[in-house]
Homo-oligomer: A and B are copies of this chain.
Amino acid sequence: MNYSSKLIEEAVQALATLPGIGKKTALRLALHLVKMDPEWTERLGTALLDMRRNIQFCQDCHHLSDGPLCQICADARRDHSLICVVEGIRDVMAIEETGQYRGLYHVLGGVISPLDGIGPEALHLDSLYQRVAQGEVSEIIMAISPTIEGETTIFYLSRQLQSHPVKISVIARGVSFGGELEYADELTLGRSIAARAPYKAEGA
């Protein structure tokens, strides 16, 4: 494509390196910014640069943070005896969105996947062991995707932590609320039946 402008060309090429954004979309975005007030581009450009230059990872849980400790770890009102172990940052955000959890997190930064060359040493495990060793933690909740790699990671972690007096639990798996049984996959449906629970009426 001939952009007739090196400035536009460089902006389009930089935008097109983003995932899911091709050359055509990048051009549309660049021309949108040219059409809008310059303040929009100033805000976007400085927000991106500010973010990348100043973003940190929480020294306790490895979640995104504006300082050494993230807002969640720094919040004294949260239950510091509960740690929810997740694969990534977006899992923290998804669980926070539910408003159902008031403990802390620990972001592993991935799951054990020998096929991809990811062993336990590539994950944030030492800092988790340290947090557990400090003795304040009573329960570790594994909120990791029920895939082969996820199950492997949960198994490995539970073995590593078995010498500590800490309860290890796994988030409930089964058919989705609102989901139709006939569309649930066989494995989920089969395990849902095997792991059936006594019925309790709501509010009873």
| Known contacts A2-B97, A32-B19, A96-B2, A7 near B44 by CB under 8 Å | no
Give 1 or 0 for each of A64-85: 1 = CB within 8 Å of chain B CB.
1110001110000000000000
Is there a chain B Cβ closer than 8 Å to A106's Cβ? no
Interface residues of A in 12-38 (CB under 8 A from B): 13-15, 17-21, 25, 27-34, 38
Is there a chain B Cβ closer than 8 Å to A108's Cβ? no
Interface residues of A in 90-135 (CB under 8 A from B): 90, 92-93, 96-97
| Known contacts A41-B49, A41-B52, A64 near B33 by CB under 8 Å | no
| Known contacts A4-B96, A20-B25, A11 near B89 by CB under 8 Å | no
Is there a chain B Cβ closer than 8 Å to A6's Cβ? yes
Point out the residue from B28, B41, B51 that lies within 8 Å of A30, measured CB to CB: B51
Q: How far is the CA of A45 from the CA of B40 in the complex (A)?
A: 12
Q: How far is the CA of A14 from the CA of B32 in the complex (A)?
A: 13
A49 touches B40 (CB 8 A): no
- This chain: copies in complex: 2
| Known contacts A4-B96, A15-B44, A28-B20, A52 near B33 by CB under 8 Å | yes
Q: Is the interface of A mostly helix, strand, loop or mixed?
A: helix
Interface size class of A (residues with CB under 8 A): 35 or more
A14 touches B47 (CB 8 A): yes
Q: How far is the CA of A30 from the CA of B52 in the complex (A)?
A: 9
A50 touches B7 (CB 8 A): yes
Q: Which residue of B lies closest to A40 (CB)?
A: B17
B5 touches A55 (CB 8 A): yes
Is there a chain B Cβ closer than 8 Å to A1's Cβ? yes
A sample of 5 cross-chain residue pairs with beta-carbon separation below 8 angstroms, ordered by A number, consists of A4-B72, A8-B55, A42-B49, A42-B52, A45-B45
